[in-house]
Amino acid sequence: MIYSILGLHTRKNRQAGFYARNGARKRRKKMKLTRLSDRIWYFPMEEERDRPNLGYIRGDRWSLAVDAGHSDDHVRTFYQALEEEGLPLPALTVFTHWHWDHTFGFHAANGLSLANRRTSQYLRAFREKVAREGREAFLSLHESVQREYAGGRPVIILPADLEYEGQMLLDAGNCPIRVFQAPAPHTDDSTLVSVPKDKALFLGDAPYSVFETGEKDRALCRRLEAAIRETKAEICLEGHYGPQTLEKTVSDLYED
Ligand SMILES: [Zn+2]
């Protein structure tokens, strides 16, 4: 099945088909933070507006978010959920790749952003495209974008504040975090985030097919598998699916 025809990032998107067929909207339920481990929570994905899971890692000194979100509204609902749990706002947000649903909300976020150089280059290029061609250039990508940006919500694209290449080691306070680039079938700018003490790995959309074409390069899948296995994670969280074991994540990686 070619998911790009349905046009969402998710690979398990029967729900998306439902929206496409019926043009219907589910009543939006209030999302709550879900705890994955001692130091890790995530704010769950939503298919209607193609909102990905947003990760949250709490160190003793500061906190880190994995992905910013689709828009300012997505960031705000995430931060509300953090505040309800009494958790501090992230001082740093890492982008897993440049795609709008993971990054375009950052202008409403707290603190700084970190991305690999290529992700930042893609963000700059898309910002120039929108400046040249207008917001329609963005809204025409998919109806989920139109839903997210309904009512004239501003499109504000920021390249990352901090850029890295290869890998970067962080410590949020008794909480080492490894941020690193990995080859992946979805885009060529994937960043993974590993939290070794909690045996957790954030993958963004890395295991999915190419958004525009639905293609999935097997050689890139094998290289991503190696990068995933190397982390020895026990909990893996993708951009648009619930948490899974490493083995399930790897076996799903080879599904079309
Ligand atoms: Zn993506």
Task: Read off the pLDDT of each residue in 101-110 and give the average, rounded to a whole number.
Answer: 98
Provide the pLDDT confidence category of residue 29 given band limits of 50, 70 and 90.
confident
| Distance (Å) from CA 170 to ligand 1 centroid | 24
| Distance (Å) from CA 98 to ligand 1 centroid | 7
Residue 18 phi/psi, 5-degree rounding, is -60, -45
Task: Read off the pLDDT of each residue in 63-81 and give the average, rounded to a whole number.
Answer: 97
| Distance (Å) from CA 127 to ligand 1 centroid | 17
| Distance (Å) from CA 239 to ligand 1 centroid | 8
| Distance (Å) from CA 61 to ligand 1 centroid | 30
The predicted structure's pLDDT at residue 31:
84
Task: Read off the pLDDT of each residue in 132-138 and give the average, rounded to a whole number.
Answer: 94
**pTM (2 d.p.):** 0.91
Instruction: List CB contacts of 61: < 8 A, sequence separation 6 or more.
Output: 172, 173
Given a cut of 90, is residue 41 above it in pLDDT?
yes
Flag whether 166 is in a domain: yes
| Distance (Å) from CA 126 to ligand 1 centroid | 14
Task: Read off the pLDDT of each residue in 139-152 and give the average, rounded to a whole number.
Answer: 95
Domain hosting 160: range is: 14-253
Q: Which residue has the higher pLDDT, 84 or 25?
A: 84
Cβ-in-10-Å burial (0-12, 13-18, 19+) of 40 comes to buried
The predicted structure's pLDDT at residue 8:
54
- Within its chain, how far is the Cα of 8 from the centroid? 13
The predicted structure's pLDDT at residue 58:
98
Task: Read off the pLDDT of each residue in 194-221 and give the average, rounded to a whole number.
Answer: 97
Provide the pLDDT confidence category of residue 3 given band limits of 50, 70 and 90.
very low
For residue 40, list its beta bridge partners.
57
| Distance (Å) from CA 59 to ligand 1 centroid | 27
Instruction: List CB contacts of 164: < 8 A, sequence separation 6 or more.
Output: 114, 115, 116, 117, 179
| Distance (Å) from CA 99 to ligand 1 centroid | 5
| Distance (Å) from CA 250 to ligand 1 centroid | 18
Given a cut of 60, is residue 147 above it in pLDDT?
yes
Spatial distance between the Cα atoms of 78 and 209, rounded to a whole number of angstroms: 27
| Distance (Å) from CA 249 to ligand 1 centroid | 17
| Distance (Å) from CA 114 to ligand 1 centroid | 17
| Distance (Å) from CA 96 to ligand 1 centroid | 9
Flag whether 165 is in a domain: yes
Provide the pLDDT confidence category of residue 26 given band limits of 50, 70 and 90.
low
Flag whether 46 is in a domain: yes
| 239 DSSP assignment | T
Provide the pLDDT confidence category of residue 47 given band limits of 50, 70 and 90.
very high
| CATH code, domain with 145 | 3.60.15.10
The predicted structure's pLDDT at residue 256:
79
50-62 residues labelled b (16+ CB within 10 A) or e (exposed): bbbbbbbbbbeeb
| Distance (Å) from CA 68 to ligand 1 centroid | 13
Flag whether 8 is in a domain: no
Neighbours of 139 (CB within 10 A): 16
| Distance (Å) from CA 102 to ligand 1 centroid | 7
Of 158, 153, 202, nearest to 52 by C-alpha is 202
Task: Read off the pLDDT of each residue in 134-160 and give the average, rounded to a whole number.
Answer: 95
Q: Please give, one letter per residue, the 3-state secondary structure of 126-171.
A: HHHHHHHHCCHHHHCCCHHHHHHCCCCCCCCCCCCCEEECCEEEEE
Flag whether 50 is in a domain: yes
Given a cut of 80, is residue 12 above it in pLDDT?
no
Flag whether 188 is in a domain: yes
| Distance (Å) from CA 92 to ligand 1 centroid | 20
Given a cut of 90, is residue 160 above it in pLDDT?
yes
Given a cut of 80, is residue 2 above it in pLDDT?
no
Residue 217 identity: D
Flag whether 1 is in a domain: no
Flag whether 7 is in a domain: no
- Within its chain, how far is the Cα of 85 from the centroid? 22
Length of the chain: 256
Domain count, the chain: 1
| Distance (Å) from CA 60 to ligand 1 centroid | 31
Average pLDDT taken over every residue of the chain:
91
